[in-house]
């Protein structure tokens, strides 16, 4: 029988990396700050501790280490990288932190830019990078998810301060004409529900000269309606994944791993139940790191790849969801 040749450009996954700060903020320590307890937090979220950046750490530093680890696993010459996308909502430079990562890596041939979509950011960035690669514009890309949410948490608000932590993760992906391991994706946004989770700017009125007023720059702390975000996630995430399975002619029983944005263990369990995916296939490190926004999916992937849970040719279903409100799903094969 004649061999069927793959004539289109596909995507291959070549490496992963991550970074989390050394500072550990446990539930017990948070209970010294606000009226809560370890049992209360764990029973409602699944979180036991989270990592907090020190005074010298930021999104650039964390993203750089994660990217470098992914490049080392891929065994790439840094000069061969064409594209760097940083998914973040907390850049240490509001004009963009990806160029700083590009410079630290010495990836002088790569174009680098930030993409902001909060907790959906990494998945949206992964989709964006794969489309550049499949379009033939670039050969090699680094996709980074990094956030420093500790800088924007109200540490006196016990409803939200228990949820968030800092960290970074990255994937190295490459164009190939031999096969395509990026099977499919779907993405959605509903700005009408955006007020459920946001980080609004501060509207501090000031004056330049007489009759010329302006609003000075700055941001408030994270604003969140936890009940509404929970209802949104447990409803919309299974729907978008089920739709993706239909359009790609896959079924949930063919999935080796489900990797969701690590927001709340109850959300992960609920989505798994709806899709009839066993708990053994649902990857979670929420207990150790909390919600690191755009970093949750790539940190989880890197841990599972390095401890050999995720193996060559494993099928992974993933979904990111959060502020915007935005959500998306991707189906891909590792390797």
Decide if pLDDT at 7 tops 80.
Answer: no
Domain ranges of the chain: 10-179, 183-194+221-333
Q: Is 1.10.10.10 the CATH number for 10-179?
A: no
Which residue out of 119, 161, 181, 264 is catalytically annotated? 119
SS (H, E, C) the chain: CCCCCCCCCEEEEEEEEEECCCCEEEHHHHCCCCCCCHHHHHHHHCCCEEECCCCCCCHHHHHHHHHHHHHHHHCCCHHHCCEEEEECCCCCCCCCCHHHHHHHHCCCCCEEEEECCHHHHHHHHHHHHHHHHHCCCCCEEEEEEEEEHHHHCCCCCCCCCCCECEEEEEEEEEEECCCCCEEEEEEEECHHHHHHEECCECCEEEEEECCEEEEECCECCCEECHHHHHHHHHHHHHHHHHHHHHHCCCCHHHCCEEEECCCCHHHHHHHHHHHCCCHHHECCCHHHHCECHHHHHHHHHHHHHHCCCCCCCCEEEEEEEECCCEEEEEEEECC
Q: Fold identical between 10-179 and 183-194+221-333?
A: yes
**Mean pLDDT of the 63-72 span:** 98
**Residues of the chain with pLDDT > 70: what percent?**
98
**Mean pLDDT of the 79-107 span:** 96
CATH code that applies to domain 183-194+221-333: 3.40.47.10
Decide if pLDDT at 134 tops 70.
Answer: yes
pLDDT band for position 152 (50/70/90)?
Answer: confident
Which residue out of 27, 58, 161, 261 is catalytically annotated? 261
Q: Is 161 annotated in the active site?
A: no
Q: Is 69 annotated in the active site?
A: no
Decide if pLDDT at 6 tops 60.
Answer: no
Q: Is 119 annotated in the active site?
A: yes
pLDDT band for position 215 (50/70/90)?
Answer: confident
pLDDT band for position 2 (50/70/90)?
Answer: very low
**Residues of the chain with pLDDT > 90: what percent?**
78
Which residue out of 58, 69, 181, 291 is catalytically annotated? 291
pLDDT band for position 214 (50/70/90)?
Answer: confident
pTM beyond 0.85, yes or no: yes
What is the predicted pLDDT for the residue at 125? Answer: 98
Decide if pLDDT at 4 tops 70.
Answer: no
């Amino acid at each position: 029988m004649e061999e069927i040749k793959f004539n289109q450009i596909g995507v291959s996954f070549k490496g992963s990396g991550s970074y989390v700060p050394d500072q550990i903020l446990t539930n017990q320590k948070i209970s010294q700050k606000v009226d809560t307890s370890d049992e209360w937090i764990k029973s409602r979220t699944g979180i036991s501790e989270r990592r907090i950046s020190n005074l010298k750490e930021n999104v650039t530093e964390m993203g750089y280490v994660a990217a470098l680890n992914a490049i080392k696993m891929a065994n790439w010459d840094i000069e061969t990288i064409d594209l760097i996308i940083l998914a973040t909502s907390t850049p240490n430079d509001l004009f963009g932190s990806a160029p700083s990562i590009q410079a630290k890596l010495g990836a002088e041939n790569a174009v680098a830019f930030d993409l902001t979509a909060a907790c959906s950011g990494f998945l949206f960035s992964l989709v964006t990078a794969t489309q550049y690669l499949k379009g033939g514009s670039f050969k090699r890309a680094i996709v980074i998810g990094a956030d420093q949410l500790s800088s924007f948490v109200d540490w006196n608000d016990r409803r939200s301060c228990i949820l968030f932590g800092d960290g970074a993760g990255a994937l190295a992906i490459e164009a190939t004409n031999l096969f395509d391991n990026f099977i499919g994706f779907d993405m959605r946004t509903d700005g009408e529900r955006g007020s459920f989770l946001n980080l609004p700017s501060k509207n501090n009125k000031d004056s330049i000269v007489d009759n010329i007023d302006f609003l000075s720059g700055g941001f408030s702390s994270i604003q969140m309606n936890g009940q509404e975000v929970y209802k949104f996630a447990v409803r919309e995430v299974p729907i978008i994944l089920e739709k993706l399975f239909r359009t790609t002619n896959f079924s949930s029983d063919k999935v080796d791993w489900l990797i969701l944005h690590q927001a709340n263990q109850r959300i992960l369990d609920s989505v798994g139940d709806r899709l009839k995916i066993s708990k053994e296939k649902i990857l979670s490190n929420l207990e150790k790191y909390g919600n690191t926004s755009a970093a949750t999916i790539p940190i989880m992937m890197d841990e599972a790849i390095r401890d050999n849970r995720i193996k060559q040719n494993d099928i992974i279903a993933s979904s990111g969801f959060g502020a915007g409100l935005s959500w998306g799903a991707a189906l891909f094969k590792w390797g």
